[in-house]
Structure 1
Amino acid sequence: MFLLALCLNIFYILVDIWSFFRISGIKIKVGFYFYLFLLLIFAVGVIDFIWNISFISDALEMILFYLFFKKYGDIELILGSGIIVGILDLIFSIITTIIMKVTMLNSNLNVELAFGLITLILMVFFVKRFGNKFKIYLSNQNKNIFLGVLIYLYVSSAGVSFLYLLDKRITPFTLFFTIFVIVQSVFAIGVYGEMVYVQNKLLTQRKQQEIRQKQRQLEEYADYLEKSEDDLRAFRHDYKNILNSLKVSAQEGNVQEVIQKLDKYTETNLNSDALLKYKDVNHIHIKSIKSIIISKLTEMYNLNIPYNFECRSGVYNLPNEIDELDLVRIIGITFDNAIEESEALVAEKHKIRSADVQIMVYSDEPGEFEYEIRNKIQNQKISTTQIQQRGFTTKKNHKGLGLANIKEIENKYPDMSISYTIQDGWFDFYMVIDTEDGEKDG
């Protein structure tokens, strides 16, 4: 019997090791498994086998898991995986103890070993079924809250286990405490589940709102293209009559009348803000870049911020080495900074024309991409070095992370060069990517 009990204890440790790696997703060399197994046999197995104090041996096991593997992943993932293993050990141990005491079979070693084997099988099934979900919970944005729930469950389970260790039989107090802990645990899990549900619902609503907003912007852009096409057709239809009218006036020597007619037609038909709203955007053929630019131009148009966007040549491809999303982030951050500064400038000067934003996108070759955005500013004494530091900002209640984030992106790419210039009341952000030049230098 002693040998069977020892074997069962060894199997428990093996299952715990397997469960930990199953939940955490850590992969190590086979030899390290054997080393860890021997360590747990001597450090944990001895305590559990001789003194049968499961919550202490489980706590020691969690500490060893954390110390050994904290460098292999996030702290929450490593610590949480160990705690889950400890909780499962305690829960199955408590269930076995309750069954043994209720049936008065706590003195029968054969039955105890049988229940131990059954709990091992159940634990393997449970971890195999829910291990990946636990890993997700310990890696997502709510991982700290989930870890807190796990710690609470472990402490509660350890308290119940300690009571059953002190009492040789089930008393009203231990029964009440057990029920109380179960209710509290279910409540904690329920609160966490409800919180995640509400959060996901809000996130889904926000994503849907963003999708609808982008759809409206694209529809507006499509309407703009249709209107531009209609205006062009109207101009083609009318231009012969206009030229004939101007020709007659010119032949009669009425030069001043010709000039006045040209000015009036230009002002009413060719110089409309609405027609210039998305000028040159059609030359950009990269969906993500086009989308962010349309979004920001729409925002500036709705805020009545004067701007000019220029993209004379077609942009079909980005340099292969550059992550498209990094460029989207850079364009988004610089546009946001220009918009915020323009709004502040208008609020200070009380004149809409005091603000101005100039944007340029250019790409002549597949390995080349240029982007420049200039905007008028209030404070001309800002240091271009200081504005790139993390946490620097001139705005109230602002974290000042924008240009620091751009600096981190720039550091990822040796072929990306970014410059900042402040001159004559303008802030100029200029970025150039030239992978062809980098290859030649190499």
Structure 2
Amino acid sequence: MNLFITGPHLLRICLAWGIFYYVFMLIYHSKLSIQRQTFSFALLWLLSVILNILLSGYANLLIAILIYLVLWPDQKFDYYLINIILVSFLVKFWAFILPSPLLMHYFPNSNIVSYGFNLIISLVEFILSITFVYFYNYFKLNDFFQSRQNPMTSIVLGYIYIICFLFLKLTQNFRTYAPLIMGIFGFIILQCLFIIVVFTITRRRQLKIYRDRFSEEQVKNLKMYTDQLEHDQLKLRHFKHDYKNLLFSLKTVAAEQDYTAMNQALDNLENYSDDYLNNLSMDLYQDLNNVKNPYLKSLFINKLNTINQKNIKCSFSCTDELNNLPMNDLDLIKLLDQAIDNAIHFTKRQEHGQIQLAITKEDRQLAFLINNSLANLPTTERSKDYLELLQIKDLKKKYSNIFIQHSKNAKWFRLHITLITKEVIK
């Protein structure tokens, strides 16, 4: 514990943590209000300076925990926040390490504790940190970190930071063995890079396997769609043949002017036509031609067929062509798949269950409407439990342009998923 500190050193600590939190604010997309963010970061900056004075570099773990607790949005682990904290500490570390040898070469030992030296090194740190922020945004790394919903990325970043921190402390305390420490550090860095490469390759393989499975499911659904259309086409041929016979019989009855027989023939024709037309799937699938995204079309083919097989009355509407989606295809498919499954689950036991599916577009908004009828059946299930399966909170963390609303009355449960885009959706 070091309670005696010079003015230049105090300035150095204050500026270092100021740069740290400025970079953190630039790369972390928080859902907190601007006022709360400003207050939170000001409080964290003050606590970080105090802890740094008391515990030196060993305060970093405690500071990281404080940042997480102050900015923690809910009760679930926020891996995105953990990743950004670790990335910010790594930026702080390298922004200090990289310019140090060059600055030490040009500044004599007597000036190290001067205000000038500390201002210059802080300026260099700031420039390097802002450079990192530029490349962070250029390569859209925030999307990458927001999409990591497992601890693996945090473990890798934490491992790299621990190695860097140990390297710094060892070189500071054992200057005699600096070459050996540098060699070990280089080996560990290579090991870290190897781990990252293996991790990246493994993730890509897993994603490829998932996409291959999804493609197989897509082919299966399209085959189901074509089989259904072929079945309807075959029924249409039979209907055409039978319809001609019925018309011929009707003409014969009309020629005989037997009005009783004529009414009977008309009733038979009407009943036969209704029975045929009500059992066709063409009306159910007709708007699928407007869904141009293959993943989305495959999903709706599968779900409409499932609903049809369970004898649930269903309507599907998509009056405008839909090509591009303002979010990751697989994330949207997963959300809609679970939402429609929930609707099927709550209507399959109803005697007259209904499901309404619709896709609407308006300027910069794309909306998916999933409505299902409700019945007063005895059950211990709650719709809230099934809403949790949609992982709405995780999606809202990952995508700032998604809005999910639900409402309920005595007859209907309505789920509206709205996506906002910067450009007009095509």
**Which whole-Å CA distance do the structure 2 matches of 1:130 and 1:239 have between them?**
73
Q: Any idea what the Cα deviations from partners look like across 1:237-273, whole Å, max 9, x if unmatched? A: 333445578999xx9xxx9xx99xx9xxx99x9989x
Tell me: CA distance 1:310–1:78, structure 2 relative to 1, closer, same or farther (3 Å): closer
Give the paired residue count. Answer: 350
Aligned: 1:171 with 2:164: no
Query: What amino acid sits opposite 1:237 in the alignment?
Result: K
Alignment of 1:23-62 (within 5 A): 23-26=27-30, 28-29=34-35, 30-44=38-52, 46=53, 53-54=56-57, 56-62=58-64
Aligned: 1:155 with 2:136: no
**Which whole-Å CA distance do the structure 2 matches of 1:432 and 1:104 have between them?**
71
Q: TM-score, structure 1 length as denominator? A: 0.58
Tell me: CA distance 1:66–1:300, structure 2 relative to 1, closer, same or farther (3 Å): closer
Tell me: CA distance 1:178–1:216, structure 2 relative to 1, closer, same or farther (3 Å): same
Name the SS for the 2:410 alignment partner: strand
Query: What amino acid sits opposite 2:80 in the alignment?
Result: L
The question of whether the paired residues in 1 share the 8 Å contact of 2:44 and 2:66 is answered with: no
The question of whether the paired residues in 2 share the 8 Å contact of 1:309 and 1:360 is answered with: yes
**Which whole-Å CA distance do the structure 2 matches of 1:246 and 1:98 have between them?**
107
The question of whether the paired residues in 2 share the 8 Å contact of 1:279 and 1:309 is answered with: no
Residue number in structure 1 paired with 2:245: 238
Structure 1 window deviating more from structure 2 (119-128 vs 105-114): it is 105-114
**Which whole-Å CA distance do the structure 1 matches of 2:130 and 2:354 have between them?**
60
Query: What amino acid sits opposite 1:417 in the alignment?
Result: A
Query: What amino acid sits opposite 2:184 in the alignment?
Result: F
Residue number in structure 1 paired with 2:91: 88
Tell me: CA distance 1:196–1:235, structure 2 relative to 1, closer, same or farther (3 Å): same
Give the one of 192, 211, 224 matched to 2:199: 192
The question of whether the paired residues in 1 share the 8 Å contact of 2:72 and 2:78 is answered with: yes
Structure 1 residue 198 displacement after superposition: 2.2
Alignment of 1:410-421 (within 5 A): 413=406, 415-417=408-410
Name the SS for the 1:171 alignment partner: helix
Residue number in structure 2 paired with 1:395: none
Name the SS for the 2:87 alignment partner: helix
Give the one of 129, 132, 135 matched to 1:123: 129
- Ranges in structure 2 where 5+ consecutive residues have no aligned partner: 1-5, 320-332, 358-369, 393-404, 415-426
Structure 1 residue 194 displacement after superposition: 1.9
**Which whole-Å CA distance do the structure 1 matches of 2:34 and 2:204 have between them?**
35
Name the SS for the 2:166 alignment partner: helix
- Ranges in structure 1 where 5+ consecutive residues have no aligned partner: 318-324, 342-355, 364-368, 375-382, 391-400, 419-430, 434-442
Residue number in structure 2 paired with 1:378: none
The question of whether the paired residues in 2 share the 8 Å contact of 1:292 and 1:328 is answered with: yes
**Which whole-Å CA distance do the structure 2 matches of 1:37 and 1:370 have between them?**
48
Residue number in structure 2 paired with 1:205: 212
Query: What amino acid sits opposite 1:80 in the alignment?
Result: N
Structure 1 residue 165 displacement after superposition: 1.6
The question of whether the paired residues in 1 share the 8 Å contact of 2:343 and 2:355 is answered with: no
Tell me: CA distance 1:128–1:6, structure 2 relative to 1, closer, same or farther (3 Å): farther
Alpha-carbon RMSD across the aligned residues, in angstroms, is 5.5
Tell me: CA distance 1:290–1:230, structure 2 relative to 1, closer, same or farther (3 Å): farther
Give the one of 3, 18, 31 matched to 2:22: 18
Tell me: CA distance 1:310–1:14, structure 2 relative to 1, closer, same or farther (3 Å): closer
Residue number in structure 2 paired with 1:384: 378
Structure 1 window deviating more from structure 2 (152-161 vs 89-98): it is 89-98
Tell me: CA distance 1:201–1:3, structure 2 relative to 1, closer, same or farther (3 Å): same
Tell me: CA distance 1:199–1:337, structure 2 relative to 1, closer, same or farther (3 Å): farther
Residue number in structure 2 paired with 1:332: 341
Residue number in structure 2 paired with 1:394: none
The question of whether the paired residues in 2 share the 8 Å contact of 1:15 and 1:124 is answered with: no
Structure 1 residue 386 displacement after superposition: 3.0
**Which whole-Å CA distance do the structure 2 matches of 1:373 and 1:308 have between them?**
16
Structure 1 residue 17 displacement after superposition: 0.6
**Which whole-Å CA distance do the structure 1 matches of 2:28 and 2:341 have between them?**
36
Tell me: CA distance 1:315–1:432, structure 2 relative to 1, closer, same or farther (3 Å): farther
Tell me: CA distance 1:15–1:142, structure 2 relative to 1, closer, same or farther (3 Å): same
Which structure has the larger Rg? 1
Tell me: CA distance 1:135–1:21, structure 2 relative to 1, closer, same or farther (3 Å): same
